Amino acid sequence: MKIEIVVDPSKPAPAASLVSRVTPAAAVPVAAAPVTRTGGRPKRGRGGGRRKGNERPQKTAADLDAEMEDYTASNAPAAAAA
């Protein structure tokens, strides 16, 4: 494997060492007030709104069994004819 490092001679070499660039930065204080948007298009992206809960009530095992019996009963003559 060959690695080439290209250096622009018109720019001075960085004064910071590799160790100072790799170590985590000190804690940066967080701004107290959020930035407000002024005009333009509305903000888009992931998240944002609340999700609605499931509006349908959850079915019981008895309900599911009854639906399956109805389904098989309605499709039984079609399967026998084929």
Element (H, E) at 71: helix 61-81
Q: What average pLDDT is seen over the chain?
A: 76
Q: At residue 14, what are phi and psi to the nearest 5 degrees?
A: -65, 140
Residue 11's pLDDT is: 83
Structure confidence at residue 6 as a pLDDT band (50, 70, 90): confident
Distance of alpha carbon 28 from alpha carbon 31, whole angstroms: 9
CA-to-CA separations, 38 to 35, 42, 43, 74, in angstroms, rounded: 10, 10, 11, 60
